[in-house]
Structures are given as structure tokens and as C-alpha cells.
């Protein structure tokens, strides 16, 4: 079983709409959780860390469900500039190694 699984999409989203997607992780002992954003032919960039109580950064909301071992990301009022691939990332154990999902591709349509 893969450490982190994501539905690659693409998720075609009308501008101004809300889009949400999840990823699941296999290691129940995972300790840190992140969403990264990756634009085409660019490096991944940290979008936000995900905390147990859930957290929000502007139009972006992240949730963690430890019982079901999934993480979610919701984007409200989608902008054209939100078009990117969103990587779900988990730190599975006690060291610094991260496990990456393959990403959710989001395409915001005018």
C-alpha cells in the first residue's frame, strides 16, 4: 500500500467555485502533514501545514482526520491563479523523511 494516495484528477473548477479533495495515508503513526503546491515545471512550494484542529489560510482550509487517516484541502472562491497540482505530504515517522502523494491537478476555468 502506498504511503500517501491521491486522486490525480484533473479537477476542472469554474472560476469562483469551491473545490475540495482528500488524500489518505497508510501509517497511523504519521506525525506531520502538509499541502504543497506545484506549478508546471516548477518546484513544489509549501502551501500550508495541517494541524489536528484544522487550519485556514485565506481561501484555503485544511483538515486532518486521524481516525480515518485522511487529509483534506478546500479552496474557496477559486482564482485562475489557483491552477496547479496540489501535493499531499506526510511525515510517516520519527525522522525527517517525507512521503509525497502524486498530487491533485486543479484547473480553474474562466
34 binds other proteins (CB under 8 A): yes
80 binds other proteins (CB under 8 A): no
60 binds other proteins (CB under 8 A): no
Q: Residue 13: left if φ>0, alpha if ψ -120 to 50, beta else—which one?
A: beta
Q: Work out the number of other CB atoms within 10 angstroms of the CB of residue 73.
A: 22
- Per CB under 8 A, the list member of 7, 9, 26, 44 interacting with other proteins is 44
- Per CB under 8 A, the list member of 43, 68, 81, 110 interacting with other proteins is 43
- Of 63, 70, 59, 57, the C-alpha closest to 30 is 70
87 binds other proteins (CB under 8 A): yes
CA angle at 54 for the pair 29 and 17, rounded to the nearest 5°: 125
Q: Which residues bind other proteins (CB under 8 A)?
A: 31-34, 42-46, 49, 87, 91, 96-98, 100-103
Amino acid at each position: 500500500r502506498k504511503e500517501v494516495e491521491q486522486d490525480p484528477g484533473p479537477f476542472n473548477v469554474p472560476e469562483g467555485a469551491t473545490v475540495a479533495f482528500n488524500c489518505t495515508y497508510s501509517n497511523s503513526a504519521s506525525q506531520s502533514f502538509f499541502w504543497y503546491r506545484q506549478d508546471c515545471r516548477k518546484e513544489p512550494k509549501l502551501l500550508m501545514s495541517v494541524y489536528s484542529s484544522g487550519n485556514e489560510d485565506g481561501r484555503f482550509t485544511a483538515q486532518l482526520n486521524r481516525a480515518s487517516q485522511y487529509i483534506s484541502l478546500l479552496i474557496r472562491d477559486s482564482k485562475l491563479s489557483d491552477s496547479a497540482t496540489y501535493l499531499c505530504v506526510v511525515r510517516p515517522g520519527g525522522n525527517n523523511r517525507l512521503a509525497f502523494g502524486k498530487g491533485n491537478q486543479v484547473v480553474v476555468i474562466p
